[in-house]
Amino acid sequence: MDQSANTHATRALIELRKKIISGDLPGGMRLFEVPLAEDLKISRTPVREAMSRLAEEGLLDRVRGGGFIVRSFAMSDVIDAIELRGVMEGTAARLAAERGVEPEALASITECVRLLDACFGAGPGQVDFDAYEMLNARFHRELAALCGSETVRREVERASRLPFASPSAFLPNRADIDAFRRSLTGAQEQHRAIVSAIAGREGCRAEALAREHARTARHNLEYILVKDRSLIKRVPGLALVVAG
C-alpha cells in the first residue's frame, strides 16, 4: 500500500499521527481499536493497520497482551535523537568520503547547496524559509544516500525521521527573524563544508562536520526553548515536547 494510496488505513494513519503529535492522544495513553474506529467511521481492520505502522515509526509501543500505547517523549529524547542523527549522518558522510561518490550525486548535492544559497536575500531578514526548509530536507536526504549503501541510507533516514529529529524540527517560527537568519547562514556554511570534505575525500573531517552540524541544531533548539517555547514550530513530534 502506497503512502499516497487513498485507503482508510492511510487516512487513519495520518489522523492518528496528527492526534499523537498534537498531544490530543497523550503519551502513555493506551489506544483501543473500537473507539478509534468509531471516531474515524471505519472498521477495526484499517485502524489496526495504521497502528501497526505507527509502531514502525516509533510513535506507538506494542504492549504485552496486545494493543498499543502512545510513546512518551521528554526533552532529553529530543536532544538524544538529534545527537543520534548527527552520528548517523556523520557516518554516511565519512563512508561517502572514504569510498568516493558518483560524480552526478556530488553534482546534485552541490546544486542543492547552491539553491540553498539562493534562499538568502540581501536584507537581514530576507530568507525564503519555505524553500530553505524543503531544500534542507533534500540536502539531508541526498547526504544519507551519498555513501552508495542502501542499508546505510535507510538507517540514516530512519534516524532523521525519529519523530523529533527532523532536520528542520528545530527551526523557530517566523518571529525572531534576524537571529534565525544568522543561524541559517551558519548551517548553510556547514552544509558547504560537509560537501567539500566529502569531495576532498576527507572522511574524518566530513564526519566531524556532520556531527557538528547536528550539534548546532541542538544548541539552537536549547536556546530557543530557554528563550521562548512559543517560537517553536509545531513540527512532527516536537509539539509533544513543547506541550510536555
Partner DNA sequence: GGGATCGGTGGTGTATACATTCCGCGTCTG
Partner DNA sequence: CAGACGCGGAATGTATACACCACCGATCCC
Q: CB under 5 to 8 A by kind: which of DNA, a copy of itself, none does 81 bind?
A: a copy of itself
Burial level of 128, CB count in 10 A (0-12/13-18/19+)? middle
Q: CB under 5 to 8 A by kind: which of DNA, a copy of itself, none does 162 bind?
A: a copy of itself
Q: Which is nearer to DNA, 13 or 169 (CB)?
A: 13
Does 19 participate in binding DNA (rule CB under 7 A)?
no
CB 101 within 8 A of CB 61: no
* DSSP string covering the chain: --TT---HHHHHHHHHHHHHHTTSS-TTPEE-HHHHHHHHTS-HHHHHHHHHHHHHHTSEEE-TTS-EEEPP--HHHHHHHHHHHHHHHHHHHHHHHHH---HHHHHHHHHHHHHHHTTB-SSTT-B-HHHHHHHHHHHHHHHHHTT--HHHHHHHHHHHHSTT--TTTT-B-SSSHHHHHHHHHHHHHHHHHHHHHHHTT-HHHHHHHHHHHHHHHHHHHHHHHHH-GGGB---TTHHHHHH-
Does 56 participate in binding DNA (rule CB under 7 A)?
no
Q: Identify which range of 20-28, 36-44, 103-111, 205-213 contacts DNA by CB under 7 A.
A: 36-44
Q: Which is nearer to DNA, 12 or 193 (CB)?
A: 12
Site for a copy of itself, rule CB under 8 A? 1-2, 5, 48-49, 52-53, 55-56, 58, 62, 64-66, 76-77, 80-81, 83-84, 87-88, 90-91, 95, 149-152, 154-155, 159, 162
Q: CB under 5 to 8 A by kind: which of a copy of itself, DNA, none does 88 bind?
A: a copy of itself
Q: CB under 5 to 8 A by kind: which of a copy of itself, DNA, none does 44 bind?
A: DNA
| Site map 61..100 versus DNA, x via CB under 7 A | ----xxx---------------------------------
Q: CB under 5 to 8 A by kind: which of DNA, a copy of itself, none does 159 bind?
A: a copy of itself
Q: Which residues bind DNA (CB under 7 A)?
A: 1, 5-10, 31-34, 42-46, 48-49, 65-67
